[in-house]
Each structure stands twice: as C-alpha cells, then as structure tokens.
Amino acid sequence: MNTNFVSSLQSGLDDLAAKGTLKKLNYLASPQAARVQMEGRGEVLILSSNNYLGLCNEPEVVEAGIGALRQYGAGTASVRFICGTFTVHRELEAALARFVGTQAAMSYVSAWNANEGLTATIVEEGDFVVSDALNHASIIDSIRLAKAITKCTTGVYQHSDLDDLVAKLKANQSARRRIIWTDGVFSMEGSIAKLPQILQIAKDHDAIVVMDDSHATGVLGRTGRGTAEHFGVLGEVDVITSTLGKALGGAAGGFVAGPAALCDTLTQRSRPQLFSNALPPTVAASSLAAVEFLESHPERVTTLRENANYFRAAIKEAGFNPLDGETPIVPIIIGETADAIRMSEMLLAEGIFVTGFGFPVVPHGTARLRCQISAAHTRADLDYAVRAIQKVGRKAGVLR
Ligand SMILES: Cc1ncc(COP(=O)(O)O)c(C=O)c1O
C-alpha cells in the first residue's frame, strides 16, 4: 500500500471539510417520487431530482424492466458488435428517433458516454469545435478528449452570446468543418439555448449543430420532444444527444440521435460502443416504456410546466429572486458555497431535500439551491416546500 498516495487524498478531503464544502451522500430507501424515504430521516420531499415526469416509479415503466429481466436476463455480457445487441435495443432506438424527430438513434450506457463517444468519433484534425461556456461537463470533457486525439481547434463562446459565437466561427472559417456544441437546457441556470438563431448562424457559416437535450427531453415542447419542439424546429438540429437518466424513467443510459449514417458510424467507430458493454436490456426496456408512456400521456408535460410556473411564482412571492426561466429548474442564488450547503442541510431538517451547488460546479460566488420541479409534485408539496425555504432563508439571513 502506498501510504503517501492515501494521505494526499485524505488531506484533499480534509481541506474540503474545513471549507464546509464536503459533499455528503444521503441514502434513499424507496423509489424516486415526490416524497422519498431517506435512511435515518424518514419521509422527505424531494426538490432535487431529475425525475421530471414522475416516471421513475410509474408502474408501466417498472413492469417493463421486470419483464425484460425475465426475458433477457441480468445483462448484456458483451459490447454491441460482439454479442451484446438485443432486440430491445433496436426497439428503444427506433422509439427514441421517432420521439426526438431524427432518422436514427444509438443508445449508450449514459449521456456522458454518448457525448464522449460522439465527439471523439465525428471530430477530425482540422475541424473547429465551438462550445457554450456553460455547457455540461460531459460536453467539455468530450471536446477535450477529441482535441487530445485529433488536435482539432476548439473555442468557447460566452453563455448564449451569439455575437461571440459568430466571431469565433468567422475566425475559423478556413477550418475543415465547424461544429457548434450546445446544451438545449443549461442545467445549472435552467436557461434555454437560443436554438433558432444558432441554427441560422450554423447555416450562414456552414456549421454542424450538436445539442445535448438531457434536461429538455420529456420537459420542453408541448409533447416533451425537447428544445427543438419548444421552438418549432423539430428535425432541423443535425445531432441531438440526451439522457435516459432523467425524465425518461431515470434509470440510466443516454443516446445520440441524428442521421442513420451517423448512428451507423458510431456502431463502427465510437470507442464506448466498441469497448464497453451495451445498455442493460432491463434499462432499455423501462426506457422504451417511458417513451411510449410519454407518447400516450403528453398531459404529464403540461402538469410539469404548470407545476414549474406555480413554484416559480410562489418562490418569488415568498421574497426570493430565482433566475428567470421557463424550465422546471429554478435556481435560487445564495452566493457562497458553504452557505448554500448549510441551507440545504437546514432544509433537510424541515423535510425538504434540495441540493446546494457551489464551486466548481458553478462559478465562485454564485452557489445556489437548485430546485427542480416534477409533475409528481402536488400543489400541497410545492406550497410546503416554499414555506420551508422561506423559513430557512430567514433563519440563514438570506431573506429578510
Ligand atoms: C446536460 C447533461 N448532459 C449529460 C449528463 C449526463 O447524463 P448521464 O447521467 O446520462 O450520464 C447530464 C447529467 O447531469 C446533463 O445534465
């Protein structure tokens, strides 16, 4: 055992503890739902989950997973191209493509994997990849990986600053190809990418648009088809990636959706496809059931939107000033990381589970309580949460 290695890790953890920014794990003993059983605490109301549509414990979704466990067994025991492709993968991928409005889709074991597998496969030497400053860590790392492999050129434009985007594209007009990488919904802000303008800019500058819709799939648009549906531009984004770990049942998994030739290329060349096991069939089956459920129950999306609007108005009425937006992500800026974490602990004592996010997830000085609303919440849940946040805000001196 290398004791220096272990003691250097321990001193890093001690530093975080001294700053009050050490993350603590809370263990749940029941399914994700509006209210969950937290080990050692009993029932708490959850305001931190990506279970946007309440599908994590939807009977049809759960039963589909159980059925697949019986039909296909515990796992794939192989990567896709050897012997790990099951019929349920094909059904899921067809449903995902149909749902987000593309020719084809390819599943991965996570959206993180999908983003890394995609960028490293499509980017080549001489390309220019430009990324929104607030893009998710998986996009950032996917571009870093692609750059390390291909020596492509990369750039970052200020968050949603389209003049900056255009300037960066113009400066790289001689690149072999230009790729614009954006989140559909930015997870820490709850803001929505200016997609119609980005598509126009891409046309003007002969660029490819790649969008991660992880927080928009099942959430935005009248029927939950995501950012493109929200703006009425379904079918116009070159490549969409998203997760199965949030609105679509919440189990795990992600996907890339786009032209059939792209998905075929990923099958041939994307390294996570070639060297890592396929999505477990149980997860594929419950995700498929989630997509089908959503196709036949678009009213869930309406409930989610109404709940989010209700909470946003109520939290403003209670004296807070959350970041503006139209999504179910409602961030309440607190400032210092330790304060946000302390407030989140005080809220837990009130029976509300909402996570405080600080540096390095968000910039210094903008630590926040990120509230996430679900269609599973009742109005009584939301009222209770607002009252508790107000009480704790006063106690913590954040609210007068
Ligand atoms: C925008 C975005 N992309 C990708 C991911 C990663 O998703 P997954 O858990 O499927 O890897 C997340 C998860 O937080 C996300 O918010």
pLDDT in tens, 265-294: 999 999 999 999 999 999 999 999 999 999
Residues in contact with ligand 1 by the CB-under-6-Å rule are 110-112, 136, 138, 183, 187, 212, 214-215, 243, 245, 254
Q: Find the catalytic residue in 49, 107, 110, 187.
A: 187
Residue 283 is encoded by which pair of tokens?
């997860």
Average pLDDT, stretch 106-135?
98
The catalytically annotated residue of 215, 230, 297, 377 is: 215
Taking 80 as the threshold, does the pLDDT of residue 400 lie above it? no
Summary mean pLDDT of the chain: 96
Testing ligand 1's pocket by substitution, the residue of 96, 106, 136 carrying the most ligand atoms inside 8 A of its CB is 136
- For the stretch 168-214, pLDDT in tens is 999 999 999 999 999 999 999 999 999 999 999 999 999 999 999 99
Lowest mean pLDDT segment, chosen from 89-93, 183-187, 357-361 = 357-361
Would you place residue 240 in the very low, low, confident or very high pLDDT band (cuts 50, 70, 90)? very high
Do 218 and 166 touch, CB atoms closer than 8 A?
no
Using pLDDT thresholds of 50, 70 and 90, give the confidence band for residue 254. very high
Res 321: pLDDT: 87
Query: Is 19 known to be catalytic?
Result: no
Closest CA to 147 of 111, 181, 174: 181
Residue closest via CA to ligand 1's atom 15 equals 214
Nearest CA to ligand 1 atom 7: 111
- What atom of ligand 1 comes closest to residue 136's alpha carbon? 1
Atom of ligand 1 nearest to the CA of 111: 10
Cα Rg of the chain, angstroms: 21
pTM of the model: 0.96
Atom of ligand 1 nearest to the CA of 113: 11
**CA–centroid distance, residue 3 to ligand 1 (Å):** 35
Asked about 23 being catalytic, the answer comes back as no
Atom of ligand 1 nearest to the CA of 245: 10
In the predicted model, what is the mean pLDDT of residues 301-309?
A: 98
Query: Number of C-alpha atoms within 13 angstroms, CB side, residue 180?
Result: 34
Q: How far is the CA of 1 from the centre of ligand 1 (A)?
A: 35
Which of these is catalytic: 246, 286, 344, 377? Answer: 246
Q: Which residues contact 371 (CB under 8 A, 6 or more apart)?
A: 47, 48, 311, 315, 322, 329, 330, 331, 332, 354, 385, 389
CATH code of 59-296, in short, is 3.40.640.10
What is the per-residue pLDDT across 121-175, written as a single tens digit (0 to 9) for each?
999 999 999 999 999 999 999 999 999 999 999 999 999 999 999 999 999 999 9
What residues does each domain of the chain span?
20-49+298-395, 59-296
**What tens digit of pLDDT does each residue of 53-87 get?**
999 999 999 999 999 999 999 999 999 999 999 99
Burial of 108 (0-12, 13-18, 19+ CB in 10 A): buried
Ligand 1 centroid – CA 184 distance (Å): 12
Asked if residues 363 and 343 have their Cβ atoms less than 8 Å apart, the reply is: no
78 is catalytic: no
Q: Which two tokens stand for residue 13?
A: 């953890």
- Ligand 1 geometric centre to CA of 187 (Å): 9
The CATH H-level superfamily of 20-49+298-395 is Aspartate Aminotransferase, domain 1 (3.90.1150.10)
| Band of pLDDT at residue 336, cut at 50, 70 and 90 | confident
